[in-house]
Structure 1
């Protein structure tokens, strides 16, 4: 097992770097971690960005935040001006000091690329950031903004890279090297092969028990499973696309391995494009919702590991329990909706037509995501039963994200972002063309109202008004049938038992490698 390889290093190579005498953990991911620019998105992988870069405040499982790079903070009575006192003695992994000036430079770099980050309302709210002293950072907002601290804790974009690694005093066009304050340092990256993280020996906090993490690039879920079974990797941690769930179920019955499922963390759904025919029709979108047998899909493709989703967010998400009426599986109701909308079934045909045009919809998904492919095939079969022809479009991750941004889809797999993004940050992003939601909603008659109310819900200081606004927004989106919720998903873990119990991170997109304590290291 790879995390026992440290024994000889400990005895024979004492002069190695400190991490060489510690356990090595090998895991797998579908793609490389990317250049690890803390202020940008794809192809940067969020779990790896969070390993290298840290926030001012750290999100907790109960929804609160705790001091991190900032030890405490105060704010003005009107909630617009905040002063953060920074932790003493923090260094970037290259030895540069982390101080208020470095923090302010990072905020400047993010805000100079404000349009790219406009999905996050905090970016729009910040009017000024300045260093008051080496240890005090002041942030000024347009208005009081209730998710302020939670959004500072996100994996991106408000995390900190050494200013010496900016390119031309900016980060929007790339960085020199990924130098952060976090517990890990990117040591090596080989395209389509692997990435290597090593422990940051300058880390200000408790250092990880693991010295080195090898992240093998294995795009295929079956190959990842084989790599685990043969001992090539020690841990698989991620969402339901990481392994086929029949494999997860099989592993869970093998006492030689440890398997874990978290509580539900996100919603998997289809976004239905309201600007492109035929999903531009309300009746078609409603019919699609009634036509998918979610329970059978979950019991079959998902091996019962997830819960049926009736709404955009689970009722346990803050502000999301608003009593919406589920659209339960009813193919007869789906057929009736389509008939009444003029989509009829010509004699001898299995696909409905209207004005000579077949009821044809493309469903786009990430081709390397085994589970998305299985789910897409089941949905395709369900919809054919009511006379809808679905063409499956499986492409690489970056291509699917491009489709989400530019609206080249009829239906496309989408998911909420989990804590701490849901509901506020996920809904904030609906107002800009950075994700599938904006393009899916753009053709709705009440899109302008939805966008206005999202802006209001983020800035009101009246809790009752906030609840009422969330209720109206969620009701409108539900009534518009612009989403087809499928399941509330959990994080999966498959691990060698010697790694001990694997903790789940409060933020769904993070992997808490720094908290894993192999028995060999204890």
Structure 2
């Protein structure tokens, strides 16, 4: 009842605003935005609770992932790669300083790399870290990385938001171990974190020492609004200027239905990005009954993804048929999709000996019921809706699906422990896909390892992943990726649902609103307000 009342109030605000015209936000030099939580300590060498979009605002890479997947010089103006592919020499941009005035030079670059290597166990999901043999400050503006092997994704992984970006030497703790924390988040990026009020907001100010194009706004106020419905009302009433990020209740900036409502209203501009990553569920090959290939294949045939994309994602996210979008490097393989076909799904189960005694009953084999858990984040209503559709679709096949919604910490523990039949586990998007995501499949820290561990060819998959990452032969690399991704597709250990997108909502006076090259890079510095 409470939620219904809230929706009525939200609808009333939307209708009133449509009649009265858009409500203008503060017309000063502050851009008002919102996020579900505070941005965190912003340690560039650490992960949660720091928010990636904010880390990208403060810290910069040597090499930047550009539009269309190209690599752009950033803090490094250029680089050379040795003939054996093991030594990368970076020629650093001159005149760059951290926001505290400390020069960015080869010594600072080495200090940051060495701090990450000091805590390499924390980062061993990233093969690049495991491949670093030495770091060398050749001279003031020349930094060198020496690798153990020729690791082809080196430049792509240097683009990542974490952990390979640069903290000012003055922000380091006395012992140099950033794994324990930092003194202050001081980077070379266009924004400086000026103030944090727990549960209220984070205030960023433009970096006056920024070497590139400085932000057009003097301040960026990120208000803490945990609820997507509350965020929609805050935009409509002028408390925030911009909605930017993924769509979907719980996990998104606003609900997809609300986004579409904004898109239909005069005086509001909206946009949808190209595919950024894949929304996917991992299927456990190491736990009964999804250890049965026929069951996994029946799941893929049995779920009506087209209806889900139409009624849940409302056309904002296109349907996915493969683990990675064909737009990703090495991923345009022409794999045959598991098209929705309930008859084919039922036939697979029949042939595998799963009997259904009564039309309305659940299937059994050898006295055991065909039943498993689908696990999701409990307060993520989009995941819950997807899980309910899966439950309904598979019930028609005689498969019992138990829905398990939990707090995020418990959900992540399940991913690592393998206590799931199916579990949400989205891909990471550019520049991680496919190499970083595939690399992490070999480590028991994500659902992918647990989903694959029951496959008879798991060791072979891992061996090929290790081989492809250090391959210097382009044709061989393409062949290995084809083998890896085709095997995973045919073994039905993933149920890809849709290709995730970012969305924007703003009023016409806010100019320069564009999508970043990756899912978590929001180019606030390009935005301005028309006076």
Match of residue 232 from structure 1: 239
Gaps of 5+ in 2: 1-22
1:505-516 alignment runs, 5 A limit = 505-516=516-527
SS in 2 for 1:493: strand
Structure 1 residue 184 corresponds to structure 2 residue 191: yes
Structure 1 residue 253 corresponds to structure 2 residue 264: yes
Q: Separation in 2 of the partners of 1:30 and 1:260?
A: 21
TM-score normalised according to structure 2 size:
0.91
Structure 1 residue 198 corresponds to structure 2 residue 205: yes
SS in 2 for 1:308: coil
Q: Separation in 1 of the partners of 2:149 and 2:265?
A: 55
1:235-314 alignment runs, 5 A limit = 235-241=242-248, 242=252, 243-314=254-325
Deviations 1:473-515 (A, max 9, x none): 0111011100001111221111122212511111122111111
Tell me if structure 2 keeps the 8 A contact 1:267–1:415: yes
Deviations 1:342-363 (A, max 9, x none): 3322437533233443332222
Deviations 1:208-262 (A, max 9, x none): 0112222222222222222222222111111123222111111111122111001
Deviations 1:5-39 (A, max 9, x none): 42xxxxxxxxxxxxxxxx21122222222221111
Q: Separation in 2 of the partners of 1:174 and 1:439?
A: 31
SS in 1 for 2:68: coil
Q: Separation in 1 of the partners of 2:166 and 2:178?
A: 11
Structure 1 residue 360 corresponds to structure 2 residue 371: yes
Q: Separation in 1 of the partners of 2:509 and 2:407?
A: 34
Q: Separation in 1 of the partners of 2:40 and 2:191?
A: 15
Q: Separation in 2 of the partners of 1:233 and 1:4?
A: 8
Match of residue 132 from structure 1: 138
Q: Separation in 2 of the partners of 1:344 and 1:32?
A: 52
Deviations 1:387-412 (A, max 9, x none): 22222233343443333233232211
Which one of the candidate residues 81, 91, 112 is aligned to 2:87? 81
Match of residue 496 from structure 1: 507
Distance 1:28-1:352 versus aligned 2 partners, 3 A rule: farther
Structure 1 residue 114 corresponds to structure 2 residue 114: no
1:270-419 alignment runs, 5 A limit = 270-347=281-358, 350-419=361-430
Structure 1 residue 220 corresponds to structure 2 residue 227: yes
Structure 1 residue 157 corresponds to structure 2 residue 168: no
Q: Separation in 1 of the partners of 2:196 and 2:341?
A: 50
How many equivalent residue pairs? 504
Structure 1 residue 169 corresponds to structure 2 residue 176: yes
More deviation in 338-347 or 81-90? 338-347
Distance 1:191-1:343 versus aligned 2 partners, 3 A rule: farther
Q: Separation in 1 of the partners of 2:119 and 2:131?
A: 14
Q: Separation in 2 of the partners of 1:190 and 1:363?
A: 37
Tell me if structure 1 keeps the 8 A contact 2:512–2:526: no
Match of residue 423 from structure 1: 434
Q: Separation in 2 of the partners of 1:395 and 1:176?
A: 34
Moved over 6 A (4+): none
SS in 2 for 1:161: coil
Superposed CA RMSD? 1.8
Q: Separation in 2 of the partners of 1:217 and 1:359?
A: 44
SS in 2 for 1:156: coil
Structure 1 residue 439 corresponds to structure 2 residue 445: no
Deviations 1:361-381 (A, max 9, x none): 222223343322222222222
Q: Separation in 2 of the partners of 1:325 and 1:92?
A: 50
Match of residue 14 from structure 2: none
TM-score normalised according to structure 1 size:
0.92
Q: Separation in 2 of the partners of 1:153 and 1:348?
A: 54
Residue 156 of structure 1 and its aligned partner are, at CA, apart by: 1.0
Match of residue 59 from structure 2: 53
More deviation in 409-418 or 159-168? 159-168
Tell me if structure 2 keeps the 8 A contact 1:221–1:369: no
Match of residue 72 from structure 1: 78
Structure 1 residue 518 corresponds to structure 2 residue 529: yes
